[in-house]
Chains A and B, each alone.
Chain A
Amino acid sequence: MADVTLEQLTKVYANGVVAVRGLDLHVDDGEFVVLVGPSGCGKTTALRMIAGLEEITSGRLLFGDRVVNDVSPKDRDAAMVFQNYALYPHLSVYDNIGFSLEMRRVPKADRDAKVRDAAEALGLTEMLDRKPRQLSGGQRQRVAMGRAIVREPSVFLMDEPLSNLDAKLRVQMRSEVLRVHRRLGVATLYVTHDQTEAMTMGDRVVVLRDGVLQQNAAPRELYQAPNNLFVATFIGSPSMNVYQGALERIDDGVAVVLGSQRLLLPASFLAEHPSLNAYLGRKLIVGLRPEHLTDPATGARPPEPGTTLVANVDLVEALGSEELAHFSIDAPLAQEGSKASRHVAAELLDGSTAPGFGSGIARLDPLTAIRSGDRATFAVQMHGMRFFDIESGEAI
């Protein structure tokens, strides 16, 4: 049992590429922390440094009070589940799970009991004599987990363990992984590129980008109060709609300018976010989650005056539980200025959207009458609106 502390952990490869830059992170004993980010963001490198498979360029890594920078992987007491499982192909399931115990010279009787125990916990008892090639993807995944838990490690590391499973099995295995985590009750670091996985599994989620920590927070906070434009658009599916806009003072308060339209910002919102006052009369990035755009016809109350947005609906996707309306307005997507917004723009801009027009998605009630081709009016939940600096991409 140990907590894990990363202090300014940095990895620079021989070719000069900085994979992880000054990562600070603390994982409490028994905590489940997810490292998430797009591919190449350094999350796997960070995990491999913690495992001891990758040399630490600078910074400190502590398990409990012990600095383990130069401790070999086998002496770190960390177990790891690999993306590709990395089972030993010529050993049976039994020997795969028992391998680490054998290496640690655990007495045979003891070993047998532990292997059978782990196999039972993962529903592998019937498969103990089989070779990995005789197992399905899900079963191999379980063997990989069994191999890690049988040692009762003090730190549990997982590198995209579910990414090779099909969608349905992946959802099933999520709860299985969490069950294993609860059973072990140790500090767990879980790497994934899938934000849904991150949100549903983590006690805490750490978002990385280009080797730099973007935000470290509980899933709900990450979603509701993203630190910057990158986190805002990376977390959540469909992702947040972000436009270039401005704040303008009008007679009875402050308005958000989105293209040719103006939305009235409630005085209470300004009171909660006093830093916005500095942006009056300036350009900024306006973020709106799809669920904060609704069809007024299906709402319980009519929208407040000045909180509706008129948009051209290009396509409505009926998902049964909800309908996703793809729309466009005449406000440009967040795309100029900072690197962050450019990055977002590249992801969001498809060829069909002319510059000056921003596309977006609204998550509507299934009872909505809005259809493709409509010019529709959406009610905007103004309290869900988020603002970011147009240069730095930082939340305001």
Chain B
Amino acid sequence: MTATSVGIDVHDVAVAPPSKRALKRQQRRQDREAEMIPVRIYGLRKGTVTLVTLLCVLFAVFTLIPIAWIVINSTKTQSNIFESFGFWFASPFEFFHNFSLLFQDVDGDGTYIQWLGNTALYAGLGGIGATALSTFAGYGFARFHFRGSKALFYFVIAALLVPIAAITLPLYFVYAKVGLINSIWGMVLPSMVSPVGVYLMKVFIDASVPQELMDAARMDGAGELRIFYRLALPLMVPGLMTVLLLSVVGIWNNYFLPLVIFSENTLYPLTEGLGLWAQHASTSGDAQIYPLLVIGGLVTIIPSILLFLVLQRYWRSGALLGSIAN
């Protein structure tokens, strides 16, 4: 290579844009420099932030482990569920076989698809009912002052503290009297009562439906019902969706109430159905029920996750932007 060509080479390098590697190096250097400035998030020291992040990761892992297990084991045969390593796949891959079994009547207990339908019905009716009642009640508590309204609200709050198990037995006796045992309304009606929902809606409405807006509407000649539907309701949507999600998931996962009020397999929700299968799995040795239990569990949690993903876009702030000067 001649001196001239070397000179040209050097020249080329100088003009050419820096290589990707050089850019990366530069980026890393900048990152390092940025790191030297103590980063403070919400006024916390970096070490604290790291610690909190670590705790969050641990918690996430703790939460996700059972889900990972259920996903992995939904692909296994009964013997593999017991014999292979729980956190890795084993052949044969039986996911689709297991899945198709879900839709067959095993042992004459009834079918998964029917329980799924029941659950959807209970959760749908109960969830919508709970949301509607919570919204009406929360709106009343938040925006109307009537005699005893405070006492009544504290009463609702107190109901938050009563565990469902404590009222299930009296509920059963009442139901037996009025014939709601083995009726879908026996499941749906109590699910519509949601003290948490009432509380959430009141707090949400206090914060997001300004009194002045209602005053303005009253002066504009709108009646109370009109104010509720046309003006207040659109502002309540994020709160409404929160209550809907919480109630639907709550009913979807409810085990205790249906256990008490249903004795017919055909009325069972998924929780009871899977419970029935679990009993059979432990008593009848031969039937291949464990794979069904696992994949049944998996399919049971999917709707809750989907619902959460769909509804989370409503958790946006700024719905009120522009209404009230700030």
Contacts and interface: CB of A to CB of B under 8 A. Distances in A.
Q: Which 10 A-B pairs have the closest CB atoms?
A: A133-B322, A132-B322, A89-B323, A100-B220, A133-B321, A103-B221, A164-B325, A86-B212, A74-B221, A86-B216
Given A86-B213, A88-B213, A104 B221 contact: yes
B325 A89 contact: no
B120 to A, nearest CB: 31
A89 B215 contact: no
Given A84-B212, A133-B322, A140-B325, A89 B235 contact: yes
Interface string B215-240: 11111111100100001001100000
B219 A78 contact: yes
A114 interface: no
Given A90-B234, A90-B235, A103-B226, A84 B219 contact: no
Interface residues of B, number: 25
Chain A's interface size range is 20 to 34
Nearest to A82: B212
A73 B217 CA distance: 10
A264 interface: no
Given A82-B212, A84-B212, A53 B324 contact: no
Contacts of A151: 220
A158 interface: no
Given A53-B215, A89-B235, A84 B221 contact: no
Interface in B226-278: 226, 231, 234-235
Interface of B: 210, 212-213, 215-223, 226, 231, 234-235, 318-326
A392 interface: no
A87 interface: yes
A74 B220 contact: yes
A103 B231 CA distance: 13
A99 interface: yes
Interface of A: 48, 51-53, 72-74, 78-80, 82-90, 99-100, 103-104, 131-135, 137, 140, 147, 151, 164
A122 B318 CA distance: 27
A255 B1 CA distance: 112
Contacts of A86: 210, 212-213, 215-216, 323-324
A6 B210 CA distance: 29
Nearest to A79: B219
Contact of B222 (A48, A74, A78, A84): A74
Nearest to B234: A90
A83 B213 CA distance: 11
B207 to A, nearest CB: 14
Given A82-B216, A89-B320, A103 B325 contact: no
Contacts of A131: 322
Nearest to A133: B322
B216 A80 contact: yes
Contacts of B218: 52-53, 72-74
Contacts, number: 89
A135 B322 contact: yes
Contacts of A52: 218-219
24 contacts: A51-B215, A53-B215, A53-B218, A74-B221, A74-B223, A78-B219, A80-B215, A83-B212, A84-B210, A87-B322, A87-B324, A88-B213, A88-B323, A89-B322, A99-B217, A100-B220, A100-B221, A132-B321, A132-B323, A133-B321, A134-B322, A147-B216, A147-B220, A151-B220
A312 to B, nearest CB: 44
Contacts of A164: 325
Contact of A80 (B213, B219, B221, B235): B219
Contact of B323 (A80, A87, A104): A87
A84 B324 contact: yes
A74 B219 contact: yes
Nearest to A81: B216
Contacts of A133: 318, 321-323
Nearest to A78: B219
A131 B219 CA distance: 21
Contacts of B226: 103
Contacts of A79: 219
Contacts of A78: 219
B319 A89 contact: yes
Nearest to A74: B221
A43 B281 CA distance: 76
A122 to B, nearest CB: 17
Contacts of A80: 215-216, 219
Nearest to A87: B323
A52 B235 CA distance: 25
A295 B154 CA distance: 68
A72 B221 CA distance: 9
B325 A137 contact: yes
Contacts of B215: 48, 51, 53, 73, 80, 82, 86
A147 B212 CA distance: 14
Contacts of A90: 234-235, 319
B62 to A, nearest CB: 41
Contacts of A72: 218
B212 to A, nearest CB: 4
